[in-house]
Amino acid sequence: MSTDLGITLAEYVRGVASGEISCEEYVVATLDRIEKHDAKLHAYVSVDADAVEAAKGVDAAVRAGRDVGALAGAPFGIKDNICMAGTRTTCCSWMLEDYVSPYDATVVDRLSGSGGIVVGKTNMDEFAMGLTTEFAAFGPSLNPWNTECVPGGSSGGSAVAVSALECIASLGSDTGGSVRNPASFCGIVGYKPTYGRLSRYGLVSYANSIEQVGIMARSVEDVGIVMNAISGEDKMDDTTRRDVRSGADHTPDHIADIDGGVEGMAVGLDVDSFDESTDVGSAVRRAADAFEAAGATVTDVHIDHGPSSVASYYVLTAAEAGSNLARYDNLRYGYDMPQEGYEYNAYISRARSRLGPEVTRRMILGGFVPSAGHAGKYYLKALKMRDALSAQVDGVFADGNLACILSPTVPVLPFKFGEKIDDPVELFRMDSNTVLANLTGRPSISVPFAMSSGLPIGVQLTGSLDSDAQLLRIANTIHASSESKGAPQL
């Protein structure tokens, strides 16, 4: 009997608990599938064959009647910028080609603590800078729906792995849409929580003021199950502490009300974010109709997606990246490069030339925009733009008493490799809908809603700060009316 790898995490957990599913069989089948397809798809940059041993342990525990945790041995993919003790964490950069972290990221620790099994580390744009995985140092991942198309990024590998049934769910990171964008392009659910809800301890920083670990899965409920397992305050990350002003609880139950529906809720349709004459735009309109059919009221809202938001995003991320990546000087850890014949500056400059082209450009931007002579024109303005945007969105939510706003996740369908990579500004535009949630700290989720020309279209829902559980409930409702079902044929 062949194992059905296409089930959801919720179904898997129930199956393991009832004895219908063997964890070992499921994990072995997953590894077989990786073996069979991943040479082409390249979702993973490293695979852990020991996962089978862990899976045997789960089955033994089930037989013995012991608790196997909320994740019951489910196989996960973890983005390669999230640290796992004893395995390589390369950020898909030649700079960290052989880097092995001495510790587990909190999210990995909690995932394992709840019984999750990590089958491998997933591909990404180098240091998460990019949205196609074309900037991955060890080669791109391919979109399983059409391998001539990009899978989105930067968490492209995590999305491909879930979509191509090479794991049940995965963790990515979302700095400006890096979880939602590839989720949309690969036809799965991708969720970025409220800033501070998931620990960043062990997530290699790119733009630390706005990024979060994100969850990718085949259903919204699965996202909730994983959230329940890994979210909440962490003593290793001070930004997960409760804000004295909001006092919001960071560990509510994310699945208890997930089937509660949207009756009576107000959804803001972000009408400036799409063009209804496109396939993506008409899909969003149909999603709005589906909300109304489910009992929500939909009102048009206007939010500034203009270039100034995206510019603000790129200025802030460049400045922070310039600082966060400064530590890669190859002195304390890194790759072999003898020091003989080099003076300090020459050595680290030479060593850092291993950073890929996009990262190099961001480093230069990162040196430029917050520098003494230019901070006023770029960095400080970007900060103020972020503040202004927060205030504007707060106003829109308050005015319409909104539960969330609806937009496309990405304004276009998945595109071909090489199509946009040479035009940085063209790539900037792909982020215009997703960066809002990062700049304002809000939770946001991409849900697969439609198909066009055999390619998935995701719609994005963005909620209020700390409304994560409610946002998942809304997303679950719209996912139920999704026109897109099933996995790609490989």
Least distance in angstroms from the C-beta of 209 to other proteins: 4
Nearer to other proteins, 386 or 473 (CB): 386
Nearer to other proteins, 84 or 402 (CB): 84
Least distance in angstroms from the C-beta of 92 to other proteins: 13
Least distance in angstroms from the C-beta of 142 to other proteins: 25
CA-closest candidate to residue 458, choices 410, 416, 403: 410
- Residue the block writes with tokens 């496109």: 278
Least distance in angstroms from the C-beta of 195 to other proteins: 8
Nearer to other proteins, 123 or 163 (CB): 123
Least distance in angstroms from the C-beta of 241 to other proteins: 5
Which residues lie below 8 Å from residue 148, measured CB to CB, with a gap of 6+? 416, 417
Fill in the amino acid letter for 265: M
Burial of residue 6 (CB within 10 Å: 0-12, 13-18, 19+) is exposed
Nearer to other proteins, 17 or 337 (CB): 337
Q: How many CB atoms lie within 10 A of CB 58?
A: 24
Which residues lie below 8 Å from residue 85, measured CB to CB, with a gap of 6+? 101, 102, 103, 104
Nearer to other proteins, 198 or 283 (CB): 198
Identify the sign of the CA torsion 184, 292, 223, 196: positive
Nearer to other proteins, 418 or 454 (CB): 418
Tallying the residues shown for the chain, one arrives at 490
| Strand pairing report for 169-174 and 212-217 | antiparallel
Residue 210 structure tokens: 């706005």
Q: Find out whether 369 and 318 touch, Cβ atoms under 8 Å.
A: yes
Least distance in angstroms from the C-beta of 459 to other proteins: 26
Catalytic residue annotation? 79, 154, 178
∠ CA(404), CA(410), CA(415), 5° rounding? 165
